[in-house]
Amino acid sequence: MRATIVGLPFHDSTIELAHGAGGKASRRLIEGLFLPLLMNPMLAELHDAALLATGHGTLALTTDAFVVRPLRFPGGSIGELAVNGTINDLAVSGARPLALAAAFIVEAGLSSDVLRAEVEALAAAAARAGVPVVTGDTKVVEHGKADGLYIVTTGLGFVDPRLRLGSGFVQPGDRVLVSGPIGDHGITVLLARGELDLEADLVSDTRPLTPFVDALTATAAPGLRWMRDPTRGGVATALNELARDTGLAVVLEEEAIPVRDAVRGACEVLGLDPLHIANEGQLLVVVAPEWADAALAALRSVPGGQDAACIGTIETHPPGVVTVTTAYGGRRVVDMLVGDPLPRIC
Amino acid sequence: MRATIVGLPFHDSTIELAHGAGGKASRRLIEGLFLPLLMNPMLAELHDAALLATGHGTLALTTDAFVVRPLRFPGGSIGELAVNGTINDLAVSGARPLALAAAFIVEAGLSSDVLRAEVEALAAAAARAGVPVVTGDTKVVEHGKADGLYIVTTGLGFVDPRLRLGSGFVQPGDRVLVSGPIGDHGITVLLARGELDLEADLVSDTRPLTPFVDALTATAAPGLRWMRDPTRGGVATALNELARDTGLAVVLEEEAIPVRDAVRGACEVLGLDPLHIANEGQLLVVVAPEWADAALAALRSVPGGQDAACIGTIETHPPGVVTVTTAYGGRRVVDMLVGDPLPRIC
């Protein structure tokens, strides 16, 4: 559906935090180092999940490493995130989760109670989503060689045959919807580190997106073109990838984008744009214009989706670029995240 | 096929290296902490891979975290190990590998050349095994927070319908075969750390076991009862699990067990038993007696399998125990690994 993209060779001499932050540096690493070596058509798609046609339906497979710091934050923890994040990669690929695998890398000296709490959180999130954890692995590294706990989860699902999703289906005139307020997760985790002299009444939005996708599929399946879970790099990065892949323009209305006051306030103090902040429970959808109202109603019908909004339109100009129209009628370009203001956010 | 096993509650106050070494402490952690929280019939089987009946054949899913230290050692490296180890978990489950997922946790400051070399090694191993890496993830953690690189791979495959494998099929009189000399990988990695005043002309046995399983399936499928990839904890741990699960005795002939002189010598100096040392390219098989000759010939027909041997028999007494008969007619019990002489071996 999408042209194979291999970027310029990767010439940075060392790997730095920004290479893991989901923005431009990550993209350069993936396209310049990983893709040329591991080249195959499925990987080159760079979707949230790989799709494998099996003759008995299409399987979706996705893997994610979770290294969030701190392990617990308001509204969630690494164990819950590790389940929801992977289920969400399946969900936005149009796949119904079938099973999860979980690998734990534990630092020697970690309190067993901390590990138990995270396995409990992971088990509870999996039970809530109705997906069994069917296999796992545990490794222990020396004290000082991991910080506490890393979790890698892999999700397997079958793609819903009613859905045809991909940037190749996106057309001028399509609408861009989001399921709710953006930036809650990233700002919550950043503040939970206690390194900034800032407080806010915020919790992470970590949750499974499956109910949103189910509601959309039930009422607007033929109109759905593209879905994404805007985690690292935020809404801006996901939409920049869409603009780049399609050569189309994404034009956002700033006034329409739901952002909580606490997130907006923290972003202003920190010099960040809420569009760059990670979400762990928001769905971005591109939908055909005639299905936009039905899709928006479907999102709003799901608990937690009452603030869903239509935030923009796909246009032809400027090609390959995301812009946002401000309340005063101005227009600015929204680029991908360049630096790394928010390492270890998931 | 096997009774659900949940052990005593896990009461250790902290997680230590031994909990990741694959022996008794690992088993206590898995059975006492993970299983009660994540309980489901598939996980409780504790097989190398979970088997998922889909109505269109049985899928096998397996995940493994690789934290080997050093990253490169004679005969292999973490990237190659991460592919072969996961393919081998599928192979011993009777599954043909379909796709791999790979997650990388990279320490900030790692040389890009080191990362590139490991992605190359991973890509080459995947190409050699004919299995595509279809999806991945990369996270970067601060300098000092991982040592260099951890890789988690997940493998997906379809189970060969000709095979019916599991400890429940094992019967008294069955033969135990091994594909070649044991202990090469563990001793090679241990010596590669340079912490011991020992040298040996040894290389890791890391390799895909698929050719062994294919040869066995082609010639002795009806006689195959159980297969295992004896990595952490070695042959002794794999066979103790079999003895415990079946309540049968595994009686080994010490003289018949292939062990290279260099491994035997290093083990004598270090006070280790080769039966406890990790392998990354050996297959343990239990086969019905009337199929043992055909199975042994099949193993020996595969390049690298010329030293395959029949090393023991399944008996009824002593129940649940592994014993080895020595050259002098003595008999000793071979227990699971208790301490942790070999951390970070894979």
Pairwise CA distance, residues B177 & A33, whole Å: 42
Predicted pLDDT of residue A46: 62
Which value, to the nearest 10 degrees, does the dihedral of the CA atoms of residues A11, A12, A15, A17 take?
Answer: -130
What is A48-159's CATH superfamily? PurM-like, N-terminal domain (3.30.1330.10)
Predicted pLDDT of residue A74: 97
Pairwise CA distance, residues A298 & A240, whole Å: 25
Percent of chain A whose pLDDT exceeds 70: 95
Mean pLDDT of B208-220: 97
Predicted pLDDT of residue A31: 87
Mean pLDDT of A162-175: 96
Backbone phi and psi for residue A44, each to the nearest 5 degrees, phi listed first:
-65, -25
Give the closest-approach CA distance of B147 to chain A in angstroms: 6
Q: How many CB atoms lie within 10 A of CB B69?
A: 17
Which value, to the nearest 10 degrees, does the dihedral of the CA atoms of residues A35, A38, A43, A48 take?
Answer: -70
Predicted pLDDT of residue A159: 94
Q: Is the pTM of this model over 0.90?
A: yes
The yes-or-no verdict on residue B7 having pLDDT over 90 is: no
ipTM value: 0.92
The yes-or-no verdict on residue B119 having pLDDT over 90 is: yes
Predicted pLDDT of residue A2: 34
**B38, A133 Cβ separation under 8 angstroms:** yes
Task: Give chain B's radius of gyration (CA, Å).
Answer: 19
Output DSSP code: residue A183: S
Predicted pLDDT of residue A237: 93
DSSP per-residue string spanning A2-18? ------SPP--SB--GG
All residues at 6 or more sequence positions from B201 whose CB lies less than 8 Å from its CB, including other chains: B262
Q: How many CB pairs under 8 A join A and B?
A: 274
Pairwise CA distance, residues A198 & B63, whole Å: 40
Q: With CB atoms and an 8 Å threshold, state whether B106 touches A38.
A: no
Identify the band that residue A327 occupies on the pLDDT scale cut at 50, 70 and 90.
confident
C-alpha A255, offset from chain centre:
22
Q: With CB atoms and an 8 Å threshold, state whether A16 touches B50.
A: no
Predicted pLDDT of residue B195: 82
Pairwise CA distance, residues B255 & B324, whole Å: 9
**B190, B133 Cβ separation under 8 angstroms:** no
Mean pLDDT of A266-287: 95
Q: With CB atoms and an 8 Å threshold, state whether A34 touches B138.
A: yes
Residue of B40, B116, B135, B345 best to disrupt the A interface, most CBs of A under 10 A: B135
Q: Domain ranges for chain B, please list them.
A: 48-159, 167-333
Percent of chain A whose pLDDT exceeds 90: 75
The yes-or-no verdict on residue A181 having pLDDT over 90 is: yes
Identify the band that residue A89 occupies on the pLDDT scale cut at 50, 70 and 90.
very high
User: Considering only CA atoms, which of B149, B186, B234 is closest in space to residue B345?
Assistant: B186
Residue of A15, A46, A59 best to disrupt the B interface, most CBs of B under 10 A: A15
Chain A residues in contact with B15 by the CB 8 A cut-off are 106-112, 115, 140
Pairwise CA distance, residues A188 & A202, whole Å: 6
The yes-or-no verdict on residue A5 having pLDDT over 60 is: no
**A68, A346 Cβ separation under 8 angstroms:** yes
**B49, B61 Cβ separation under 8 angstroms:** yes
DSSP per-residue string spanning A154-173? EEEEEE-TT---SGGG--TT
Identify the band that residue B41 occupies on the pLDDT scale cut at 50, 70 and 90.
low
Identify the band that residue A1 occupies on the pLDDT scale cut at 50, 70 and 90.
very low
Nearest to A65 among B50, B126, B139 (CB): B139
User: Considering only CA atoms, which of B245, B255, B329 is closest in space to residue B286?
Assistant: B245
Pairwise CA distance, residues B83 & B282, whole Å: 15
Output DSSP code: residue B77: E
Q: With CB atoms and an 8 Å threshold, state whether B38 touches A63.
A: no
Q: With CB atoms and an 8 Å threshold, state whether A105 touches B150.
A: yes
In the block, which residue shows the tokens 């005043």?
B197
The amino acid at A263: V
Predicted pLDDT of residue B344: 84
pLDDT, tens digit (0-9, with 9 covering 90-100), for A281-313: 999 999 999 999 999 999 999 999 999 999 999
Order across the sheet with A149-159: list the strands.
A50-53, A58-66, A149-159, A95-107, A133-141
A313 DSSP β-pair partners: A175, A251
For the purposes of burial, counting CB atoms within 10 Å of the CB of A323, is it exposed (0-12), middle (13-18) or buried (19 or more)?
A: middle
Residue-wise burial string across B306-328, b where 16 or more C-beta atoms lie within 10 A, e elsewhere: eebbbbbbbbeeeeebbbbbeee
The yes-or-no verdict on residue B281 having pLDDT over 80 is: yes
Backbone phi and psi for residue A53, each to the nearest 5 degrees, phi listed first:
-75, 130
Identify the band that residue A3 occupies on the pLDDT scale cut at 50, 70 and 90.
very low
The yes-or-no verdict on residue B4 having pLDDT over 50 is: no
Predicted pLDDT of residue B40: 73
Identify the band that residue A4 occupies on the pLDDT scale cut at 50, 70 and 90.
very low
Q: Which of A139-143, A285-289, B110-114, B162-166 has the highest mean pLDDT?
A: A285-289
pLDDT, tens digit (0-9, with 9 covering 90-100), for B75-97: 999 999 999 999 999 999 999 99
Pairwise CA distance, residues B82 & B63, whole Å: 10
Backbone phi and psi for residue A272, each to the nearest 5 degrees, phi listed first:
-110, 160
Predicted pLDDT of residue B1: 29
Mean pLDDT of A173-187: 97
The two three-digit tokens of residue B312, written as one number: 């023991």
pLDDT, tens digit (0-9, with 9 covering 90-100), for A105-161: 999 999 999 999 999 999 999 999 999 999 999 999 999 888 899 999 999 999 999
pLDDT, tens digit (0-9, with 9 covering 90-100), for A21-54: 877 888 889 888 988 888 776 675 667 789 988 8
The two three-digit tokens of residue B266, written as one number: 């290093």
Q: How many CB atoms lie within 10 A of CB B140?
A: 29
**B16, A140 Cβ separation under 8 angstroms:** yes
Common-topology check for domains B48-159 and B167-333: no
Q: With CB atoms and an 8 Å threshold, state whether B21 touches A140.
A: yes
Q: With CB atoms and an 8 Å threshold, state whether B132 touches A20.
A: no
Q: How many CB atoms lie within 10 A of CB B51?
A: 20
**Mean pLDDT across chain B, nearest whole number?**
92
- Inter-axis angle of helices A78-92 and A112-129, nearest 10: 30
Predicted pLDDT of residue B114: 95
User: Considering only CA atoms, which of B92, B71, B76, B165 is closest in space to residue B128?
Assistant: B76
**Mean pLDDT across chain A, nearest whole number?**
92
Predicted pLDDT of residue A18: 86
Q: Domain B167-333, what fold?
A: Phosphoribosyl-aminoimidazole Synthetase; Chain A, domain 2 (3.90.650)
Mean pLDDT of A178-188: 97
Chain A residues in contact with B145 by the CB 8 A cut-off are 146-147
